[in-house]
Amino acid sequence: MPAETIRMARRKRIALIAHDNRKTDLLDWARYNRGTLGRHELFATGTTGSLLASELALEITRFESGPLGGDQQVGAGIVEGRVDFVIFFWDPLEPQPHDVDVKALLRIAVVYNTPIACNRATADFVLSSPLMEQEYARQLVDFGSRLRRPSLPDA
């Protein structure tokens, strides 16, 4: 049973992330979707944010680069309700020095029922969804109840 609802406004707050080997793919995708992206509030990590801002001439709030805490900042944005969904073109074949941060971000996205697109096809489907242009209520599952341990009976 859902524990809470998080309301997403018509203007979504989108975090954009790409590993080095995927930056060109994300940039190509963002160029193609510039019109749609321009109607939303954009965030990005490190170099990805710099590339997107200069190429697209859009305002982008930048976090640190992924290895310096940017992925964790995006995760915190999800937890605090400042990020509505994530486009994360990650490289599944290249080990990253911050793999634990990547895994933590993916976990947080699932825990907070946050859409996260990890490839171009999924990003296309998410961005072209009619839900992009309307309010949406994300239902959260009460994972916290699984973390609370029942108290032990008195001896």
Positions marked active-site: 71
Report, in angstroms and rounded to the nearest whole number, the Rg of the chain calculated over CA atoms: 17
Q: Are the CB atoms for 14 and 86 separated by under 8 Å?
A: yes
What is the token pair recorded at 65?
A: 């680069």
Entry field: residues in the chain: 155
Q: Are the CB atoms for 65 and 45 separated by under 8 Å?
A: yes
Distances, alpha carbon 32 to alpha carbons 13, 15, 25, 98, 107, in Å: 19, 17, 11, 29, 29
Rounded to whole angstroms, the Cα distance separating 36 from 31 reads: 10
